Chain A
Amino acid sequence: MEDRNPMAQSDEAQAAQDHSDHLARIAADPRYEALVKRRSRLSWTLSIVMLVVFFGYILLIAFNKAFLARPIGDGATTIGIPIGIGVILIGIALTGVYVRQANRDFDPMVDALKKDSER
C-alpha cells in the first residue's frame, strides 16, 4: 500500500473539491441543459423509430403472413424479403444518422462546455 501522508491527503481533498466545483459549473451552464435536451430528443426519437419498425415487422408476421409471402411481379422474390432486409438496413442507417449528428453537433458542444467550465 502507498504511504498516505497528510500533505497528499489534503491535495486529494482539494482535487475532489475542484472536481465537484467543475461538475456544478457545468450543471449550471444553460448550454448543458440544451445539449442534454437535444441529444435525448434524438436518442429517444431514433429508438422509437427502431422499435416501431421492428415490432411493426413482427406484428406483420404475426397477423398477416400471406401479405409477406406474396411474390413481387412474376418473380420468385416475395414482398417479405425486401421488408426483412429493409429492417436490417434501416437499423444500420439509423446508427449512421446518430453517429453523424453526434460527431458534428454534440462533440463540439461537449468540448466547449468542458473547456469553458474549467478554471
Chain B
Amino acid sequence: MIRRPGPGLIVLLIALVLPTAALADALTGPADQQVTNWPAILMFSAFVLATLGITRWAAARTQTTADFYTAGGGITGFQNGLAIAGDYMSAASFLGISAQIFADGYDGLIYSTGFLVGWPIILFLLAERLRNLGRFTFADVASFRFAQTPVRLFAAISTLTVVIFYLIAQMVGAGQLIKLLFGLPYGYAVVIVGVLMTCYVLFGGMIATTWVQIIKAVLLLGCATFMAIAVLASFGFSPDALFARAIEVKTQLAADAGATPAEAQQRGTSIMGPGNFIKDPISAISFGMALMLGTAGLPHILMRFFTVPNAKAARKSVLWATGWIGYFYLLTFIIGFGAITLVASNPAYLDASGALRGGGNMAAIHLANALGGDFFLGFVCAVAFATILAVVAGLTLSGASAVSHDLYSCVVRKGEASSAEELRVSRRTVLALAVIAIFLGIVFEKQNVAFMVSLAFSLAASSNFPVLLLSIFWPGCTTRGVVAGGSVGLLLALVLTILSPTIWVSVFGYSEAIFPYSSPTIFSMPLAFFTIFLVSKLDRSGRAAVDRAAYPEQRVRSETGLGAAGASGH
C-alpha cells in the first residue's frame, strides 16, 4: 500500500484556506464581487466538514476497483435515485432555469421538460439492460460482444470529450457563482472546487461521491421546497395570483423603461407563453433531441446504474430519480415566477441601471434573501456550491474510470491488470483530471455555461446513445459499425457546433454561420445511427461474424440478468 495524506489533513487545509481567502478578498477584491458572506461561508464549511467526514469513512471501505468505481454495487434503489437526482440537478438547473424564468417567464419550462423526458426513455430501454450487462462503465455494455480494443478506445474518447465539456461548464459556473456568493476571487473558487472534488473522489471513490450527491440532493430539494411554499404562501396558494402579479411587475418594468402602455402590456403578458427561445422548427426539434436523448448517453449518469445490486434496483432508482427531478423542476418554475414578483420590483436587489445585482443567475439567490433573510441566503449559497461539488465529483469519477478501466485495464493490459494496479491508474487520472479541470476552468472563465452543457448533451446524444441502443437491440450490429458510427456522430456534432452561429459568428467573428441552426443533433444523431447500420450491413470481416453470432447470448444476459456482476461483500 502507498501512504496517502488522509482527508483530515485536507480538512485542515480547507479550514485554513477558506477564511483567509475571503479576508484577502474583502481587502483587495474587485468591486463586482459581493461583500464576504459569512453565514454562507460558515454553512458551506459545515457541509465541507460533514462530507469530508463521510469521505474518511468511505476511504476505509474503498479497497477494490469495484468499491472505487461503483461502491461495490451496494447502493439501494432509493439511495441511487437520490444520488442520480443529485448528479443531474446541477447548479445550472437550479440557478440557470430559475434565472431564465425570471428573465423570459415560460421559456424556462421548455428546458425543464426537455431535461426530464430523457429519464423515462432511459428506464424503458436502457437501465435494466445496462445493469445486467455492465460492471463499471458504459463501455462494458457497448463492447460486450465486440472486439474490445476499438470499441473501448472509442468509448474512452467519447466519454472524456463529453466529461471535459460538462466539467468545464461546471467549473466556470462554480467559479462565477462562488465569486458572487462568497466574495472569493474567481481563481480561488475554481481551485477550491478542484481540491474538494479531488478529495472526495481520490479517497472515497464512488461511496463518498454517492453520499455527497445524496446529501446535496436532500439539501437542494429541501431548500427549493421551502422557497416554493413561501412564494405560494404569499399569494394565498393561488398560482394564478402569482402569475397575475408577475405580469403586473413585468408590465410596470416595461412602462418604466419607456414603452407605450400597449407595448408594456404586451411585454408583460409575453412571459406567460413561449418567446424567442425557440426560433425555427429545425433548431427546436434538434435541441429537444439533444436534451431528451443526450441524458441517455451521459457517461457519469450511465455509470450510476452499476452502483446498485441488480436490475430491479436499477429500475427503482430511475423511478425515484424521475420523481425527484420532475418535482424539482416544478419547484424551479414557481421559484422563477416568485423572483419576478419579489426581486424584480425591489430596488434592494437591483443595480443603478435596473439590472439584477450580481448578474442574471442570481435571481434564486436574491429570492432566498427576500424570503428568509441573510441566514437563509447563506444556506442557499452553501447548497448551490454543494450542488456543483456533487456534479463535478461524479464527472471526474466517470472520466477516471474511462482512462483506468477502458483504456489502461482493457486496452493496454488486455484485462491482465490487477485491481490494485487499475486503482492506482484511476487515482492518478483523478489528479490529472482535477488539474485539467482547474486549468480549463480558469482559461474558459468567459465561456457561456449553458452553451457548454448543451454541447455535452449533443455529443452524448450523437455518439454514446446510438452506440448503446444498437449494440443492445440490433443483432446485426458489428464492431466496425459502432466504432465508425459513434465516431462520425461525435465528430459531426463537434464540427457542426463550431460552424454554428454560437462559435462561427460570436467567437470567430465571421458575418454568417456555415451551419445556420443552434443545435447539431437533428443531423448528427441520425447520421450516427445510419452509419452504424450501413457499416455493419456491409461488414464482411471475420470479426463481424463473431459479433453477430454472440448476440443471442448477450440478449439472454441482458433480458434475464443471468451472470450479471453482483454486489461485493459489503
Say what secondary structure dominates the interface of chain B. helix
Mask: chain B, 317-359; 1 = CB below 8 Å from A; 0 = not: 0110011001001100100000000000000000000000000
A57 and B113 within 8 A (CB): yes
B556 at the interface (CB under 8 A from A): yes
Q: Which of A75-103 contact B (CB under 8 A)?
A: 75-78, 80-81, 84-85, 87-89, 91-92, 94-96, 98-99, 102-103
Tell me how many residues of A have a C-beta within 8 Å of chain B.
Answer: 57
Of the candidates A42, A66, A96, the one whose C-beta lies within 8 Å of that of B319 is: A96
A71 and B123 within 8 A (CB): no
Of the candidates A32, A75, A80, A88, the one whose C-beta lies within 8 Å of that of B116 is: A88
How far is B316's CA from A57's CA once the two chains are assembled, in angstroms? 27
Name which residue of chain B comes closest to A69, CB basis: B273
A85 and B330 within 8 A (CB): yes
B106 and A81 within 8 A (CB): yes
B557 at the interface (CB under 8 A from A): yes
A7 at the interface (CB under 8 A from B): no
Tell me how many residues of B have a C-beta within 8 Å of chain A.
Answer: 56
A88 and B112 within 8 A (CB): yes
Q: A47-B121, A98-B123 are in contact. Are A80 and B288 (CB under 8 A)?
A: no
B315 and A99 within 8 A (CB): yes
Kindly list chain B residues whose C-beta atoms are within 8 Å of the C-beta of A89: 326
Least Cβ distance of B452 to chain A in Å? 22
B563 and A19 within 8 A (CB): yes
How far is B239's CA from A102's CA once the two chains are assembled, in angstroms? 37
A13 at the interface (CB under 8 A from B): no
Say what secondary structure dominates the interface of chain A. helix
Least Cβ distance of B49 to chain A in Å? 35
Q: Which of B122-154 contact A (CB under 8 A)?
A: 123-125, 128
Least Cβ distance of A84 to chain B in Å? 4
Mask: chain A, 31-57; 1 = CB below 8 Å from B; 0 = not: 010011001001110110011011101
Kindly list chain A residues whose C-beta atoms are within 8 Å of the C-beta of B119: 91, 95
B284 and A91 within 8 A (CB): no
Name which residue of chain B comes closest to A22, CB basis: B562
B542 at the interface (CB under 8 A from A): no
B292 at the interface (CB under 8 A from A): yes
B412 at the interface (CB under 8 A from A): no
A102 and B315 within 8 A (CB): yes
A95 and B319 within 8 A (CB): yes
Mask: chain B, 284-310; 1 = CB below 8 Å from A; 0 = not: 110010001000000000000000000
Q: Which of B95-126 contact A (CB under 8 A)?
A: 106, 109-110, 112-114, 116-117, 119-121, 123-125
B560 and A114 within 8 A (CB): yes
B273 and A84 within 8 A (CB): no
B281 at the interface (CB under 8 A from A): yes
B117 and A54 within 8 A (CB): yes
Name which residue of chain B comes closest to A61, CB basis: B274
Least Cβ distance of A26 to chain B in Å? 5
Kindly list chain B residues whose C-beta atoms are within 8 Å of the C-beta of A107: 312
Kindly list chain B residues whose C-beta atoms are within 8 Å of the C-beta of A77: 239-240, 243, 272
Least Cβ distance of B556 to chain A in Å? 5
How far is B244's CA from A92's CA once the two chains are assembled, in angstroms? 28
Q: Which of B223-240 contact A (CB under 8 A)?
A: 239-240
Least Cβ distance of B206 to chain A in Å? 24
B556 and A91 within 8 A (CB): no
How far is B240's CA from A21's CA once the two chains are assembled, in angstroms? 64
How far is B243's CA from A80's CA once the two chains are assembled, in angstroms? 13
B552 at the interface (CB under 8 A from A): yes
How far is B120's CA from A107's CA once the two chains are assembled, in angstroms? 19
Q: A26-B556, A54-B288, A98-B123 are in contact. Are A92 and B326 (CB under 8 A)?
A: yes
A62 and B322 within 8 A (CB): no
How far is B563's CA from A114's CA once the two chains are assembled, in angstroms? 11
A43 and B316 within 8 A (CB): no
B556 and A27 within 8 A (CB): yes
How far is B556's CA from A20's CA once the two chains are assembled, in angstroms? 11
Name which residue of chain B comes closest to A1, CB basis: B418
Kindly list chain A residues whose C-beta atoms are within 8 Å of the C-beta of B128: 102
Kindly list chain B residues whose C-beta atoms are within 8 Å of the C-beta of A57: 113
Least Cβ distance of B423 to chain A in Å? 16
Kindly list chain A residues whose C-beta atoms are within 8 Å of the C-beta of B281: 59, 62-63
Name which residue of chain A comes closest to B281, CB basis: A62
Q: A26-B562, A87-B113, A88-B330 are in contact. Are A76 and B243 (CB under 8 A)?
A: yes
How far is B207's CA from A93's CA once the two chains are assembled, in angstroms? 30
How far is B275's CA from A85's CA once the two chains are assembled, in angstroms? 17
Q: A27-B552, A57-B113, A77-B240 are in contact. Are A99 and B272 (CB under 8 A)?
A: no
How far is B247's CA from A94's CA once the two chains are assembled, in angstroms? 34
Name which residue of chain B comes closest to A94, CB basis: B120
Q: A69-B274, A76-B272 are in contact. Are A26 and B560 (CB under 8 A)?
A: yes
How far is B5's CA from A49's CA once the two chains are assembled, in angstroms? 53
B113 and A88 within 8 A (CB): yes
B278 at the interface (CB under 8 A from A): yes
A23 and B562 within 8 A (CB): yes
Name which residue of chain B comes closest to A113, CB basis: B560
Of the candidates A59, A95, A103, the one whose C-beta lies within 8 Å of that of B123 is: A95
Kindly list chain B residues whose C-beta atoms are within 8 Å of the C-beta of A47: 120-121, 124-125
B326 and A114 within 8 A (CB): no
Which 3 A-B pairs rank lowest in CB-CB distance, beginning with the nearest?
Answer: A69-B273, A76-B244, A76-B243
Q: Given A23-B553, A26-B562, A55-B285, output 9 extra A-B contacts at Cβ < 8 Å.
A: A26-B560, A43-B124, A44-B124, A68-B273, A69-B106, A69-B269, A76-B240, A77-B272, A88-B117
Q: List 17 A-B contacts (CB under 8 A).
A: A20-B553, A32-B560, A44-B124, A47-B124, A53-B117, A58-B278, A59-B284, A62-B285, A76-B272, A78-B106, A80-B273, A81-B109, A87-B117, A88-B330, A91-B116, A94-B120, A95-B318
